[in-house]
Structure 1
Amino acid sequence: MIMVLCLLVYNLAQRQLRLALAIAQDTIPNQLGKPTNSPTLRWIFQCFMAVHLVSFQDVTQVVNLSPLRLHILKFFSSACQRYYLLPAPLS
């Protein structure tokens, strides 16, 4: 039951990303660097593996947010963007 729920959430997130890319008529690079408008969510998760939350002396920040990762975040909701401590929704 839990696995089915996880797959449902995964599928909905992937569908939402692809829909946002289609609406914006934009693409992101795939594993080979070629533009695609239908990436897998697994590839997106792999892109964000190097992003970390660092807290040091009462300062918290997200590190390794490259221009590619910021571009990908444009296609997610503002709640997801806030998770990466971005000040306002990216457009």
Structure 2
Amino acid sequence: MNTHKGINAAELLSTYKSQQKVEGGFRFLKSPDFLVSSLYLKKAERIEALLMVMTLCLMVYAAIQHRIRYELKKQSRVFLNQKKKPCQNPTARWVFFCFQGVSVLTVNNQEQRVVGLKERQWTIIQVLGILYESVYS
């Protein structure tokens, strides 16, 4: 069965189901962790600017999550989820949480070293590629 725009039923169902991914992103933006509820803006321009920044943040979030999941599958690697089970589709939120405790140590106001990296963080850094490895090494 085709719809009036030439999309078949399977494509239509797939598009409808992908809506959940977008809604999940906005759920992330509305979470208390993002602190949006603590902002109060009156001017329409400022509201529009905030929405633009939030949408940009959501795009970056979705892009990094997609890249991590894609590379984990492509490289046949896994990352431990919240239940300590190996997975290839972690959320970006979980990955960001796992980077807590990683810091930059400055020695003699010059030399900087990344400290606190563990094996699970290195998994993500390595699947993201040489550029990320050079930043964190």
TM-score normalised per structure 2: 0.58
Aligned mate of 1:72, from 117, 124, 128: 124
Bigger fraction of residues in strand: 1
Bigger fraction of residues in helix: 2
Q: Which residue of 1 aligns with 2:47?
A: none
Higher relative contact order (CA 8 A, sep 6+): 1
CA distance in 1, matches of 2:86, 2:63: 22
SS of the residue 1:75 aligns to = helix
CA distance in 2, matches of 1:32, 1:15: 21
CA distance in 1, matches of 2:130, 2:53: 27
Aligned mate of 1:36, from 81, 84, 87: 87
Structure 2 segments unaligned to the other structure (5+ residues): 1-51
* Paired residue type of 2:53: I
Counterparts of 1:19-58 in structure 2, within 5 Å, are: 19-57=70-108, 58=110
Structure 1 segments unaligned to the other structure (5+ residues): 87-91
Q: Percent identity?
A: 32
CA distance in 1, matches of 2:119, 2:60: 27
CA distance in 2, matches of 1:79, 1:14: 17
Aligned residues: 85
Cα offset, 1:13, TM superposition: 0.9
CA distance in 1, matches of 2:101, 2:84: 18
* Paired residue type of 1:52: S
Q: For each residue in 1:23-76, what CA deviation from the matched residue of structure 2 results, as whole angstroms up to 9, or x when unmatched? A: 012111001110011000111111111000001224321111112211221111
TM-score normalised per structure 1: 0.84
Q: Which residue of 2 aligns with 1:2?
A: 53
Higher alpha-carbon Rg: 2
